[in-house]
Amino acid sequence: MGCGGHPLPGYINMDLQSFPGVDLVTDLSRPHLPQGATEVFSNAFYEHLFLPDRIPHLRAVYKSLAYGGIINYMGIPWFPGIVDAYVNRKPGTMGGGSTFDLYHVYRYTHGAPDEAGEYMPQLHKGLFDLSTFEVIFDTIKPDHATVYTYVYPDEPVNVSVTCGVFICKGDLPMTPMSRPPVHTYALEYLEKWDDKYIELSTVRFQ
């Protein structure tokens, strides 16, 4: 979903804009999807939807899942982490160096749309904290859902300004009681994105 200029091999890559490698150019605000999806993935996409579209979008995607299917949306700016990084003058991210200044805040809260080719698709339309996701989960009522924060590869380990949401339909495999099964399942799943989109050791479930 929202692959932009970084389509992923082995997936059906969709985006509003026609970048090379996009399989389906479509507006994903309220998608009509075929049934039977086993995995729906996005990175740095969900925050680009308008607020009234967030729940209809995720409801449609959840409905399209096969039994046992998962949704993993990551690269979503985490507002509590952004505030913490700014107020506490933590190190900058995105190779920017220096401190996490107001420009950094703007990159996460707004997406720096004036620096991209198309303003509206690039604009971040809203902010996210745990209660944002709890409202979404309470409405959609997925079988299992969790929110995690993390650090992007090669960024300062004490600056956690990004989050993801992991949702599953159906029963989960049995796991040791020490950790909720959905956390174990999410960590196993996230291994494949380690060093690409996530520094796995920094994952914190919220």
Chain contacts with ligand SAM (rule: CB under 6 A): 2-4, 6, 15-17, 27-29, 43-45, 48-49, 75, 121
How far apart (Å, rounded) are the C-alpha atoms in residues 167 and 148? 11
Find tokens 């979404």 and name the residue: 136
Residue closest to ligand SAM, measured at CB: 4
CB of 45 to ligand SAM, least distance (A): 5
Contact yes or no for 101/195 (Cβ under 8 A): no
**Closest separation between CB of residue 59 and ligand SAM, Å?**
15
Query: Which contacts qualify for 179-183: CB closer than 8 Å, 24 or more apart?
Result: 180/146, 180/205, 181/144, 182/144, 182/145, 182/146, 183/146
Rounded to the nearest whole angstrom, what is the least distance from the CB of residue 160 to ligand SAM in the complex? Answer: 18
Q: What angle do CA 136, 16, 153 make, to 5 degrees?
A: 65
Q: Give the CA dihedral 48, 50, 53, 54, nearest 10 degrees.
A: 50
Q: Nearest approach, Cβ of 121 to ligand SAM (angstroms)?
A: 4
Residue with Cβ nearer ligand SAM (118 or 134): 118
Query: Cα separations (Å) of 197 from 56, 76, 202?
Result: 26, 11, 12
Q: Which is nearer to ligand SAM, 163 or 182 (CB)?
A: 163
Residue 6 or 89 having the CB closest to ligand SAM: 6
Q: Least distance in Å: CB of 43 to ligand SAM?
A: 4
Q: Cβ of residue 67: shortest distance to ligand SAM, in angstroms? A: 26
Cβ-based nearer residue to ligand SAM, 15 or 185: 15
- Please tell me the chain's helix, strand, coil percentages from 3-state DSSP, rounded to the nearest 5: 30, 25, 45
Answer whether 30's CB lies under 8 Å from 53's CB.
yes
Characterize the bridge pairing of strands 37-43 and 144-151. unpaired
Q: Which is nearer to ligand SAM, 17 or 175 (CB)?
A: 17
Cβ proximity to ligand SAM: between 82 and 182 the closer is 82
